[in-house]
Structure 1
């Protein structure tokens, strides 16, 4: 007795359906692996906690005194690949209009045309380029600093507040960075030599893990 066309078609349909299911499953598996790989390649992002961060500039003056500048507002972001601090990239934007000086009467002068000229250059930028480990708990952070539209390379000595530069259990990553720059290289030559040329930068930041 011959099989009917319908009885022959059913196994074929099942075979085709099975092949399609296997193909889609394979595609789904490939997509999942690709998505996982993409997720692994995405850097860990940290955002600044402004309540526990600050930036100060200090310049030596005559009579063994100092002019101290503190910037009250800034934004920063830190990215690391797979938690590797050596691959980290730091970007900092400082609101130059928020500078406050000690002595206080110098604040409007520092914001003026002869110094920071915040009307034309309201922001100070820093973008890191590489990180080189130093002695335990420290590293050299190299980057580009932009003040008054002038960009110069700078080097900052980083000191980690957590063990080995790793985040604390709550996901917080904190460190300080310090270094000197020449203010005349950025066009800030007013009052020289009464006011020294070297600007001592001190940055204390705290980052929290987040988007």
Structure 2
């Protein structure tokens, strides 16, 4: 099969994250506004072209105060860096339907190479005859690598916000005409 263009279906997709809080729990959040450019053969992603963009100001942790802090210069600095982007540079098949997708992640003006474990979840037609494909992706990044270093020491030792951020994407895309 040849590469075809796929349009992200945001109403059936999500970009979620979690980070340790007070060294005892995980706080979860999501980004509500994101987009992707995908050109791929879902049965073999090794030749795919994948670009992803997230509006950092669309962060939602179910706490207005925390969200306000996250968009400030202490974290995402949305005023100067409104988007986080990812462009795949290498895709390696690790098993049937499983891939390591490596690429350039840019956040807060810093670009680093990151790898995400991607699974092709399947392909089929919806009731209206539209071809759909599903993918999931997981990865972990260190927020301090991107200049997100704000923290507070805890009286009991340790820090308020962990450095490792776990990322989870659930993506559904429609074959573009």
Task: Tell me the TM-score normalised to structure 2 length.
Answer: 0.86
Structure 1: distance between partners of 2:131 and 2:41: 15
- Residue 80 of structure 2 aligns to a residue in which SS? coil
What is aligned with 1:28?
none
Structure 1 residues 125 and 82: CA distance shift in structure 2, 3 A:
closer
Residue 160 of structure 2 corresponds to residue 160 of structure 1? no
**Residues paired across the two proteins, number:** 167
What is aligned with 2:96?
136
Give matches, 1:1-211, under 5 Å. Answer: 43-62=3-22, 64-80=24-40, 84-162=44-122, 167-169=123-125, 170-191=130-151, 193-211=159-177
Structure 1 residues 198 and 174: CA distance shift in structure 2, 3 A:
same
Instruction: Give per-residue Cα distances to partners, 1:53-87, cap 9 Å, x unaligned.
Output: 11012111115222222100111121126974210
> If each structure's helix is expressed as a fraction of its own residues, which one has the higher value?
1
Instruction: Give per-residue Cα distances to partners, 1:134-153, cap 9 Å, x unaligned.
Output: 12331111111111011110
Structure 2: distance between partners of 1:149 and 1:172: 34
Residue pair 2:43, 2:97 contacting (<8 A) in 1 also: no
Structure 2: distance between partners of 1:204 and 1:123: 19
Structure 1 residues 67 and 104: CA distance shift in structure 2, 3 A:
farther
Structure 1: distance between partners of 2:68 and 2:168: 22
Structure 2: distance between partners of 1:82 and 1:99: 29
Structure 2: distance between partners of 1:134 and 1:171: 25
Residue pair 2:42, 2:133 contacting (<8 A) in 1 also: no
Task: Tell me the TM-score normalised to structure 1 length.
Answer: 0.73
Gap regions ≥5 residues in structure 2: 153-158
How much does 1:173 deviate? Answer: 1.1
Residue pair 2:124, 2:133 contacting (<8 A) in 1 also: yes
Residue pair 2:12, 2:171 contacting (<8 A) in 1 also: yes
Structure 2: distance between partners of 1:183 and 1:155: 15
Structure 2: distance between partners of 1:150 and 1:121: 10
- Residue 168 of structure 1 aligns to a residue in which SS? strand
Structure 2: distance between partners of 1:54 and 1:60: 20
Structure 2: distance between partners of 1:63 and 1:185: 19
